[in-house]
Amino acid sequence: MLSNRYTLQAEFGDCDPSGIVFNPNYLRWFDASVHTLLRAGGTSLRTLQDKYGIAGLPLIESHIQFSHPVFVHECIDIQTQVTAVDRCVIALCHRVIKKEALTAVKASEKRAWTIPDPDGHSMQAAPIPDKVRDILVQK
């Protein structure tokens, strides 16, 4: 399955007053990591939108387990991997790794392959094209 590593440093603005990363920032970072994952597979969300007319890959389910805090100015790696590709859903896992290979956070999420709804004001799930499926399940 497609996997990638996204590296970043926790900044002052990512943290609460005690200097610990404020938990909603992990969702923002996981989203950025998914975009990096797509680029590692040779594509991008913009390319998928242009080529397949998708509305996006919205998050439909998320589970996050916090084991160790990440502090301001710490460098972390977010390891993201596709774990399954169903008809309309991509399942992923994320591991936030601190120095010395300590896993700080584990997360799983599901994202839907969506197209614009005919009403023009929403979106609906649609089958993932085989060519995209091939990108996501590569080793």
Residue 76 has a pLDDT of 96
The pTM score is 0.90
Residue 101 has a pLDDT of 84
Residue 117 has a pLDDT of 87
Which residues, listed in sequence order, are joined to residue 110 by a DSSP beta bridge? 61, 91
pLDDT tens for 52-88 read 999 999 999 999 999 999 999 999 999 999 999 999 9
Q: The domain 3-137 belongs to what CATH superfamily?
A: Hotdog Thioesterase (3.10.129.10)
- List of the chain residues with pLDDT < 50: none
Residue 99 has a pLDDT of 84
Residue 138 has a pLDDT of 84
Residue 89 has a pLDDT of 98
Q: What DSSP assignment string belongs to 66-96?
A: E-S--BTT-EEEEEEEEEEE-SSEEEEEEEE
